[in-house]
Amino acid sequence: MTAMRVAAALFLSLSFVTLKAADAAPSIDEIVQKNTEARGGLDKIRAIQTLKLVGTAQINGSIQAEITVQAKRPNLFRMDLNLPQGALTEAFDGTDAWGVNPFTGGPGAQKHDAAESRTAIDNADMDGPLVDYKARGNQVELLGTEDVGGNPAYKLRVTTKGGTVSTIWIDQKTWHEAKMVQSRKQNGQDVDVSITFSNFKPVNGVIMPLTHEQQVGPISMKIDFASAQANQPIDGTIFHMPAAVPAAASSTAQK
């Protein structure tokens, strides 16, 4: 083999190695770091102490409703959905999940079971399960890549310290969360919740998705948040389940 052929073979070999290195997927820590930076960085994420989102929800393509989501650190959460048939509330007070459901529940607020409360404590975390995941005892696995809406994304399985398991897709170009699928307990049944995220906008320096397309069993819901406010005062009492109205007092009020 002449010196020229040796040089050519060496060049091709080095080019192949360089190409393979460039094509190699980043590590889990690199993906999480890129995602955190794309959102605005750790300092800005943690600087948000309260969040209030107000918008509209379209359910199964026909029912229109007003939606308000409020959150407060460390892990308080409340969602109010004003439907034509009545108001629906889902909330977490830091210990227990509770709700008001005019369709399946009895009158007034109802406390959810322990399984739903365990999931709620993870979902009420304002930072999300990826931020500082190791220090918080969460586990992250890289499952490969898949397209979401035609865009390649890294597919991660995230298991929180509390046991909540989610699959999260991170867009390879924007590094934002493109989609999440999570198995939850609702009304004593296992249901898969799928959410696709879009319409990313800055809120106090943190990039957030203001459009959520959600599928829960046979129910689809597209949420468009028109207003997003951070670090405005929120009365902490709204996250706690209201006391039951005594039957006698309720009867009196109806007269």
- Confidence check: pLDDT of 250 > 70: no
DSSP label at residue 105: S
Instruction: Give the residue carrying structure tokens 């309260």.
Output: 50
- Confidence check: pLDDT of 244 > 60: yes
Tell me, yes or no, whether 206 lies in a domain.
Answer: yes
Band of pLDDT at residue 241, cut at 50, 70 and 90: very high
Cβ neighbours of 31 (radius 10 Å)? 20
Q: Alpha-carbon distance 50 to 34, whole Å?
A: 24
Tokens read off for 192: 């898969």
Band of pLDDT at residue 58, cut at 50, 70 and 90: very high
Q: Say if CB 161 and CB 186 are below 8 A apart.
A: no
The strand pair at 63-72 and 50-59 is best described as antiparallel
Tell me, yes or no, whether 249 lies in a domain.
Answer: no
Domain with 80 in it: what CATH number?
A: 2.50.20.10
3-state secondary structure at position 147: strand
Tell me, yes or no, whether 247 lies in a domain.
Answer: no
pLDDT given for residue 47 in this prediction: 98
Tell me, yes or no, whether 11 lies in a domain.
Answer: no
Tell me, yes or no, whether 7 lies in a domain.
Answer: no
Choice between 156 and 84, residue whose per-residue pLDDT is larger: 156
Q: Alpha-carbon distance 126 to 75, whole Å?
A: 7
pLDDT given for residue 251 in this prediction: 41
- Confidence check: pLDDT of 9 > 90: no
196-233: b (≥16 Cβ within 10 Å) or e: bbeebeebbebbbbbebbbeeeeeebebebeebebeee
Q: Say if CB 194 and CB 166 are below 8 A apart.
A: no
DSSP label at residue 29: H
Tell me, yes or no, whether 225 lies in a domain.
Answer: yes
- Confidence check: pLDDT of 168 > 60: yes
How many structural domains compose the chain?
Answer: 1
User: Do you find a cis peptide bond into 246, omega within 30 degrees of 0?
Assistant: no
Beta strands in 38-150 (DSSP E): 50-59, 63-72, 76-83, 86-92, 97-100, 110-111, 139-148
Percentage of residues of the chain with pLDDT beyond 70: 83
Q: Say if CB 201 and CB 210 are below 8 A apart.
A: yes
Band of pLDDT at residue 187, cut at 50, 70 and 90: low
Tell me, yes or no, whether 167 lies in a domain.
Answer: yes
Q: Alpha-carbon distance 83 to 43, whole Å?
A: 37
Owning domain of residue 45 = 26-237
Tell me, yes or no, whether 80 lies in a domain.
Answer: yes
Q: Say if CB 171 and CB 148 are below 8 A apart.
A: yes
What is the average pLDDT across 169-190?
88
Q: Alpha-carbon distance 212 to 146, whole Å?
A: 19
Instruction: Give the residue carrying structure tokens 């597919």.
Output: 155
Instruction: Tell me the pTM.
Output: 0.84
DSSP label at residue 14: H
Band of pLDDT at residue 2, cut at 50, 70 and 90: low
Asked which of 82-86, 126-130, 227-231 is least confident by mean pLDDT, the reply is 82-86
